[in-house]
Amino acid sequence: MKYLCLVYLDESRLAELPDEECVAYDREIRGSGHCLASEALASVSTATTVRVRNDRRLVTDGPFAETKEQLAGFYMIDARDLDEAISLAAAIPPARVGSIEIRPVRPIRETVAAIEAERAKGAER
Partner 1 sequence: MDARADDPARGAPPADDAREIAARVEVIYRRDSRRVLATLIRLLGGFDRAEEAVHDAFRAALERWPVEGVPHNPYAWLVSVGRFKAIDAIRRGARFVSQEDVAELVDSMGCEPAEADEGIEDDRLRLVFLCCHPALAPDARIALTLREVCGLTTEQIANAFMVPAPTLAQRIVRAKAKIRTARIPYHLPSPDELPERLASVLQVIYLVFNEGYLASTGDSPTRSDLSAEAIRVARLLVTLLDEPEVQGLLALMLLHESRRAARISADGDLILLDAQDRSLWNQALIEEGGRLVQHALRSRRYGPYALQAAIAAVLTEAPSTDTTDWHEIVGLYDVLLRFDPSPVVELNRAAAVAMRDGPEAGLLLIEALMATGALSDYRFAHTAHADLCRRLGRREAALNSYRRALALTRQVSERRLIERRLIELAG
Nearer to partner 1, 23 or 82 (CB): 82
Q: How far is the CB of 26 from partner 1 (least distance, A)?
A: 23
Q: How far is the CB of 37 from partner 1 (least distance, A)?
A: 20
Q: How far is the CB of 92 from partner 1 (least distance, A)?
A: 17
Interface ranges with partner 1 (CB under 8 A): 1, 80-83, 86, 102, 104, 118
Q: How far is the CB of 17 from partner 1 (least distance, A)?
A: 24
Nearer to partner 1, 76 or 86 (CB): 86
59/53 Cα distance (integer angstroms): 11
Cβ count near 73 (within 10 Å):
19
Nearer to partner 1, 2 or 11 (CB): 2
Nearer to partner 1, 80 or 109 (CB): 80
